Structure 1
Amino acid sequence: MAIAIAADELESLFDALPDVVFFVKDAAGRYTHANLTLVRRLGLKRREQVIGHGVAELFPAHMGGSYAAQDRRVLGGETIDDQLEVHIFPNRAPGWCLTRKHPLRVRGKVRGVVGISRDLGRPDARDPTYERLRRVIDHLQQHYADNVRMAKLAELAGVSLAQLERHFRNVFQITPQQALIRLRIEAAMHALGTEGSIADVGVACGFADQSAFARQFKATVGMTPSAYRRMTSTKE
């Protein structure tokens, strides 16, 4: 009962945050709580249209399967922290976010999943390290398809590797490695609208081979490159 009350209160609090998705799921992967941001991003109007349903019922099959696989990992006791993801909204516009999912334990046993997805906001240009980090971003934008070394990025910023990651999180909310993944995935999403082969798209965007490309793309976008290509080809 106490857990249900706490979740109800959190649901109400997160209703006031349009840039954060909040949810709780039971051991079967069905939503027991969902804030209004999630409801609206599903293209629905009422919370009751979400509660009691699983991701397979609410998301397209090629995305729901990926989210369900995440839930199974968490129900098995794993914690997912700051997973960089692209969420495809009902109008098919992509939005970048960081997702966290934790096991919901009752008397020591995993009884569900609690999670949030937070939209990535604008960089903090007021941070004193912003200008030197812009040099790193410029380098990544020019060389994302190359074999980028984190040590080189730290050298460009004039800081240690540990400092680079800390400053990056402060300014951009993500790590340098996640920034590189974002650039590569964004380039791939654009290139998949062309007629090039999926393997060629992956290599052109900096991935070692088609397998590595497909694995990272699905982990980030929630669907395979081929499924994304099919979805965007029917956009009109």
Structure 2
Amino acid sequence: MRLRVLGACGAWPGAGQACSGYLLEHDGFRLVVDLGYATVPQLLRHVGAEQVDAVFVSHGHPDHCADLNPLLRARALRDDPPSPLPVYALPGALDAVLALDRPGMLAGAYELREVTDGGAFDVGPFRASTRLLPHSVPNAGVRLAAGGRVLAYTGDCGPSPDVVELARGADVLLAEATHVDEVPEGSRRHLSSARQAGRQAAAAEVGWLLLTHLWPGTDPAAARSAAGAGYDGEVAVATTDLVLDLP
């Protein structure tokens, strides 16, 4: 399993960067997890739009799904459009982004497959299982297994024991860490810090902790240090073009 980070900024993309987006590859199958602002230009540096085999979207905030629109346009508005793209998301999560174009324009470009809390399903060679995690809108964390390796991804979420259960024994926990340490009071139910992610990674006994969704301008070293205070495994910060191979 190979993970390539397309973008990892929280809320909006910093200069030359992109919001949440991740390309997972295994046995020639390409699964994109989240497609936030500016992720499609990053994606197209590595694969053609027609080469994406499936998309999973954690929730409907635009910094996680806005670039589904240009990906679908790149597939639909060509002389030889590929078969409809399977897109996995919670019910209603993609209503806004799918309504950006005139009715029917992209209808043949995708096949929407709704996921549920606790659901398990196959996406190519990946075995996926989902768990609702607390956020300001419905948010599906996902656990993806392939080739004997496991990656768990939180989407955006406040601290929850369900994160630990989602990530239990995973090789990699890709965890939202918008803030370094203290989460502002108004966001504490909906967002997490690097320090909290470290504690949850330790409780879940994961092999790697990869912090993502940092607020633009956040010092990556400070985030790593805060996470490392409660977790003695490997900690890294997701950045565009970071590649992690899980042998």
- TM-score interval, normalised by the smaller of the two chains: under 0.3
Say which one has the larger Rg.
1
Select the structure with the greater relative contact order (CA < 8 A; seq sep ≥ 6).
2
> Which structure is higher in strand share?
2
TM-score (norm 2): 0.24
> Which structure is higher in helix share?
1
